[in-house]
Each structure stands twice: as structure tokens, then as C-alpha cells.
Structure 1
Amino acid sequence: MAKQERSERTLEKLIVAAAEQFALHGFVKATLGGVSRAAGVTKGALFFHFPTKDDLADAVQKRGQDVLEAMLTDLASAEKPCLQVLVDAVHTLGAMLRSDPFIKAGVRIARERTAGSPAPTDFYPLWLGRLGKLLETARKEGELAADVPDLSARTLVTAVVCGVETLAWMGVSEDESRQWLGCLWELVLPVVASPDALPRVRTTAPTGASVARERAVRH
């Protein structure tokens, strides 16, 4: 049992160190030697758990996926419109792109992997797919404007996410990015939301208890 526990601790050290290295240096420039040094374990231990850099990247992206799923589950647990969950999720993503090494690493891995590399947990299709599911539910709940095609709604949300990510990589402060995103939602929501749903959706970042829950998810 003690040997298994040591193995699990080593595995966790490696995944955390890999996320930090990928987030800092990117998928291409990060090295397995750098990961083993950052984790404080031997290269032999690293290769035992992760024979290739792709294997290590998959583990980091899977952990990032778990973080995002937990965040969405937390946001959806409150009784609020689907469009509000979507708005809050993108606001929270903007913060996580600056604070969570697994999210930062996941994006860099997705950007930098070559076209032929395996990517079973690629950040972009997973994240945009989950937001697309929220839009589908919003449609069923009558929260989307009847004259707005589903593809148009998904296109607008995709553009918003890309803008948030770009601001993070440009080094724009979280406060400025949050303000930018709130203004953008003010422009976008009247286009996609139904007249009944629009007054019930806040465009600004979640505050108070919501922020506390989101921080708990990130840490």
C-alpha cells in the first residue's frame, strides 16, 4: 500500500509540474527533463508513468477538462437561466486563463500540437461543445430569440470566447478583461436572447458567493 501511495504522489507531482511547464514554456519548448526537475522526481519515474510528451500532455488536458467540468457543474447547480450560466462560465474562464495552470497549459497544448498529434481531450472542441450544449438547452427553455439561427448563436459565443482568450494572452489585466467582456455581453445578448429572457441575465462577472464557489473549483 505504501508503494502504491508513493506512486500516486509521484504521478500527481508530475501532472502538476507538467501543467506549470506547459503553461510557462508551451508544448513545443517544454521538456520532459524540465518536468522531472520541477516535480523533484527522476526521469525514470517520469518515463514509468508517461513514456512520451504526448502522454503527459493528455494527462494535463484531462485534468483541465475535469476543472472546467467541475466549474460548469458548480455554476449550473444554482437556479438561474441557461444564458446566465453561459455568461458566468465565460467570465470564469477569463479568470482561469490567468490563474489555473491546467487551463493555461491546455490551451497552449491545443494551439501548439502538430496536426497529426493525438488530442483526445483537446481544449477547444470540448469547451465550445459544452457551451453549445448550454445554448441548446437555452433554446429548449425559450431563452433564445426565435429569429436567431442556432448556428448564429454558436458563432457569436465562439467569437466571445476567442476574444477572452486573446486578451489573456495579450496580458490584459483581469479587471480590464472583465469590463471588456461585460460590455461585449451587453452587445451580444440583445441579439440572441428572447425578450422574456433578456431582463433576467446579468452581463457582468459573478460576485459574492458565486466567486467563492468558483475559486474553490480552481483550487
Structure 2
Amino acid sequence: MTKQQRSERTVERLVSAAALEFAEHGFARATLADVSRSAGVTKGALFFHFATKDGLAEAVQLRSQDLLETAVEERGEAESSCLQALIDITHLLNVLLRDDPCVRASVRITRERMSGTSTPLDFYPLWLGRLGQLLDRARKNGELSGSVADVSAQTLITAAVSGVETLAWMGVGRAEAEKWLSHLWELVLPLLISENADLKIRTGAPAGVSISNHEYE
């Protein structure tokens, strides 16, 4: 193994350990000593790669960003409708909040740094901003009803993301949260979709993620 490979492996272990520590104990309570111990890496090696806890937090949040960008790209390729891609990504978030430490950690980091130090990598600006871009594309594609104001559509996205995140931290099971999200989309889709758009929108989770499968036509 080369020196570069060892370095990359060390960084991977540190970021993975940091995500678990931040997700479990919160950004404020987790320490660099906790991270180095969990990663099985010396403090010297940790400080060589990450001088501060903020640096580690940024690395964890970059992983969360990568997951989101990958999801947007994949759903965009799989679906011709921006609204369908948007719905699918909210369902994916329901899964990631339970299964992925980086996404859970991103939420806790954001919540604990909401005193005017928010960054574009923080959970809410990142997810709401990216889904907002999908809404803009849906508008340009003629998928949204002309009677729906942009601010109203964005409010819905905020409610969906915040609702899924809140249910996860309340300990509501994935299946129940999926049903809640599916019913939310069933309720609002008739108001969102343009009468001129020939769309068949699935409100349940996409294949491979779904526990229940609802459909709106």
C-alpha cells in the first residue's frame, strides 16, 4: 500500500468515525479524542488531516452533499418529470436519515450551529436549495400549475423535508414516515400539477426504497 493510499484510508476512517460521533452525541459533545479513538487513529494523525472539529464537520457534510447530488442525478436520469424526481428524493431522505450517519450528523451539526454561522453545506440550506432548483425546473417544464406561486411550492418542500426529519428524530418508523410522506404528496399534487401537463406521478417511494406504493394520476 502506498503512502497516498494509507493517507486516503486514514481520512476515510476519520470521516466515518466523525459522522458516527456527531450523529450519536451531537457536534458540541463529540470531541476529537472521541473521533480518533473510534477511528483507531492517533491524535497526531487526526490533526495532520483535520486541524479542527469544524474541518471534520465540513468533511462529513461534504459526504451528505455527495449523497444528495448523486440522488438528484440518478433520479433525473430515471424520471422525465422533475416533480417525480423531487418526490423520490424526499423518500430517499426518509431512508438516509435512518441509515446514513453522514446525513444524520449533518442535521445535528446544522441544528447546533444555527446561531448565525450557517454554511451552504448545512443540512437545511443544502437540501432545501437543491430541491428548490428541481421546483424551478418543474416550473420551466410546464409541470406546475400557473396558480401555484413559487413561494407556496417552496413552502411545501420545506414542510416535507422538515416533517420527514422531525419524524425520524421522534423515532417514528421508516414505514410510518413513508406513509405520511406519500399521503402528503397525494394531498397536494392535484393542486401542484398543471392541467396541461400529461403526467403520471407516483407518490410512494421508488423501487428499491418503497415499503408502500401509492400512485396519483
> TM-score normalised to the size of structure 2?
0.91
Residue identity matched to 1:167: L
Cross-structure match for 1:31? 31
Q: Report the number of matched residues.
A: 210
Q: What is the 5 A alignment of 1:118-129?
A: 119-129=119-129
Cross-structure match for 2:101? 101
Residue identity matched to 2:121: T
Identity of aligned residues (%): 60
Give CA deviations for 1:150-195 in whole Å, capped at 9, x if unaligned.
Answer: 1111111111111111000000000000011101111111122112
CA distance in 2, matches of 1:46, 1:158: 36
Check whether the contact 1:75–1:88 (CA below 8 A) recurs between aligned residues.
yes
Pair 160,118 (structure 1): closer, same or farther in 2 beyond 3 Å: closer
Indicate the RMSD between aligned Cα atoms, in angstroms: 1.7
Cross-structure match for 1:41? 41
CA distance in 2, matches of 1:82, 1:120: 23
Pair 76,38 (structure 1): closer, same or farther in 2 beyond 3 Å: same
CA distance in 2, matches of 1:27, 1:198: 46
Check whether the contact 1:190–1:198 (CA below 8 A) recurs between aligned residues.
no
Deviation at 1:92, TM superposition (A): 0.6
CA distance in 2, matches of 1:15, 1:120: 19
Q: Tell me whether 1:201 sits opposite 2:201 in the alignment.
A: yes
Deviation at 1:202, TM superposition (A): 0.9
> TM-score normalised to the size of structure 1?
0.91
Deviation at 1:3, TM superposition (A): 1.9
Please say which of residues 1-10 and 178-187 is displaced more in the overlay. 1-10
CA distance in 1, matches of 2:197, 2:105: 35
Cross-structure match for 2:213? none
Consecutive aligned runs of 4 or more in structure 1 exceeding 6 Å deviation: none
Residue identity matched to 2:21: Q
Residue identity matched to 1:60: V
CA distance in 2, matches of 1:197, 1:84: 13
Find the residue that maps to 1:28 and give its secondary structure.
Answer: coil
Pair 7,118 (structure 1): closer, same or farther in 2 beyond 3 Å: farther
CA distance in 2, matches of 1:69, 1:194: 27
Which blocks of at least 5 consecutive residues in structure 1 are unaligned? Answer: 213-219
CA distance in 2, matches of 1:16, 1:114: 23
Cross-structure match for 2:150? 150
Pair 196,175 (structure 1): closer, same or farther in 2 beyond 3 Å: farther
Deviation at 1:66, TM superposition (A): 0.7
Pair 199,77 (structure 1): closer, same or farther in 2 beyond 3 Å: closer
